[in-house]
Amino acid sequence: MTVSPLTAAALAERFSLGLHGDGAVAVDGVATLARAGRNQLAFLANSRYRSQLAESAAGIVVLREADAEAAPGTALIARDPYTAFAKIAALFEHRPARPPGIHPSAVIDPTAQVSPGAHIGPFACIGARAEIGDGCIIGPHCVIGDDCVVGAGSELIARVTLVVRVRLGQRVLIHPGAVLGADGFGLAMDAGHWIKVPQQGGVVVGDDCEIGANTTIDRGALDDTVLEEDVRLDNQIQIGHNVRIGAHTAMAGCSAAAGSARIGRYCLIGGAAGVLGHLEICDRVVITAMSLVTSSIHEPGEYSSGTPLTDNRTWRKNAARFKQLDALARRVLAADKE
């Protein structure tokens, strides 16, 4: 949140980076290699784009040792330039002030506990027995239901709904439109009509989780739906009731996990990928985009389903043959035996 320029030497010391060139060069912001000016810092994470270095006007470039030679000016040397860049960029990020205090339009239940260090925005609603911790930012139009807890330092950008019994850890960040703690999809058939199975669990979200815009996380049926610490969910993700997601797992946009699925730690779930209910996925599993996990996974590694994209005419021919695949296989195997 600083606005004063920082020198390459200061950045090198602060983040334990190597310095190459003039340490007195100062920058006050970040940009891409292509657009950065003299007073901005850029990064090169992939040596394939090394040729862009020569044309860049960036005052400082963060890069790997192996690319340092190609830097025309001042460079900071990092083992992981992207991570170093992220840390430096955070120094220059402009974040609007959200001072502590409660907007006069907010509607707060008398039994709720709001820390005097929290910011409560316009039109926020805070329910019975809810607790809002120190340093929290509850943006405009957020609805915090009964018995919800928002841990210290958490930020709900705007228009976030915590329905009931949602307990957020510390420094949780939630983007607009997200809904946590809605009824799980629990139904039983009774004489030709559906009846609802009461959803009396809650949602527990660990420290440092991030939850994307319009993502939905249902509360548990009997026990809780759980995100362990540092889980990162992109936009429009659907998490069913009683799902458990291990620490440091990241899920990309539009992916989903059905009821009671258990996903391990350090997993990466690709965009629009799905995990069926009641499955278990071990730690360090990668699921590629739009794949469907239909049985438990016990070995770390990368997994996929689906077929490749082709022009529609070719696809139609091949797809038609998919319907005959078993018959074709039988013929091949029979021919082999002969």
Q: Which residues, numbered 11-70, are part of the site for its own copies (CB under 8 A)?
A: 30-32, 35
What does the alpha-carbon distance between residue 329 and residue 337 come to, in Å, rounded to a whole number?
12
CB 133 within 8 A of CB 152: yes
CB of 201 to its own copies, least distance (A): 10
Total of residues contacting its own copies (CB under 8 A): 125
Q: Which residues contact 96 (CB under 8 A, 6 or more apart)?
A: none
Chain mean position to CA 39: 31
CB of 254 to its own copies, least distance (A): 5
Which DSSP category does 213 fall into? T
The 184-203 contact track toward its own copies, x by CB under 8 A, reads -xxxxxx-xxxxxxx-x---
Of 20, 119, 175, 241, catalytic: 241
CB 187 within 8 A of CB 196: yes
CB of 69 to its own copies, least distance (A): 24
Between residue 68 and residue 87, which ones bind its own copies under the rule CB under 8 A? Answer: 80, 82-83, 85-87
CB of 57 to its own copies, least distance (A): 15
Query: Phi first, then psi: what are they for 67, rounded to 5°?
Result: -100, 0
CB of 143 to its own copies, least distance (A): 5
Residue 238 binds its own copies (CB under 8 A): yes
Cα–Cα distances in angstroms (integers) from residue 125 to residues 128, 134, 180, 192, 211, in the given order: 10, 18, 15, 39, 20
Residue 248 binds its own copies (CB under 8 A): yes
| Cα three-residue angle 263-267-269, rounded to 5 degrees | 85
CB of 184 to its own copies, least distance (A): 9
Single out the residue of 47, 65, 107, 111 in contact with its own copies (rule: CB under 8 A): 107
> Which region among 4-12, 20-28, 65-73, 161-169 touches its own copies (by CB under 8 A)?
161-169
Picking from 106, 101, 151, the residue whose alpha carbon sits closest to that of residue 130 is 151
> Which region among 3-11, 20-28, 54-62, 173-181 touches its own copies (by CB under 8 A)?
173-181
Between residue 287 and residue 326, which ones bind its own copies under the rule CB under 8 A? Answer: 287-295, 301-312, 314-326
Nearest to its own copies of 14, 331 (CB atom): 331
What does the alpha-carbon distance between residue 202 and residue 190 come to, in Å, rounded to a whole number?
26
Nearest to its own copies of 133, 139 (CB atom): 139
Single out the residue of 67, 131, 228, 234 in contact with its own copies (rule: CB under 8 A): 234
141 included as an active-site residue: no
Single out the residue of 223, 280, 282, 284 in contact with its own copies (rule: CB under 8 A): 223
Single out the residue of 39, 52, 115, 235 in contact with its own copies (rule: CB under 8 A): 235
Cα–Cα distances in angstroms (integers) from residue 117 to residues 101, 108, 214, in the given order: 7, 16, 27
For residue 87 the two structure tokens come to 């840390």
Q: Which position has the token pair 């090198």? A: 12
Residue 274 binds its own copies (CB under 8 A): yes
> Which region among 20-28, 67-75, 100-108, 112-120 touches its own copies (by CB under 8 A)?
100-108
For residue 222 the two structure tokens come to 């009997």
Counting Cα atoms < 13 Å in the Cβ hemisphere of 236 gives 6
Single out the residue of 49, 66, 105, 111 in contact with its own copies (rule: CB under 8 A): 105
SS3 164: coil
Between residue 130 and residue 159, which ones bind its own copies under the rule CB under 8 A? Answer: 139-141, 143, 145-146, 157-159
Nearest to its own copies of 77, 254 (CB atom): 254
What does the alpha-carbon distance between residue 209 and residue 230 come to, in Å, rounded to a whole number?
4
Nearest to its own copies of 7, 161 (CB atom): 161
Query: Phi first, then psi: what are they for 320, rounded to 5°?
Result: -60, -40
What does the alpha-carbon distance between residue 21 and residue 62 come to, in Å, rounded to a whole number?
12
Residues with catalytic annotation?
A: 241
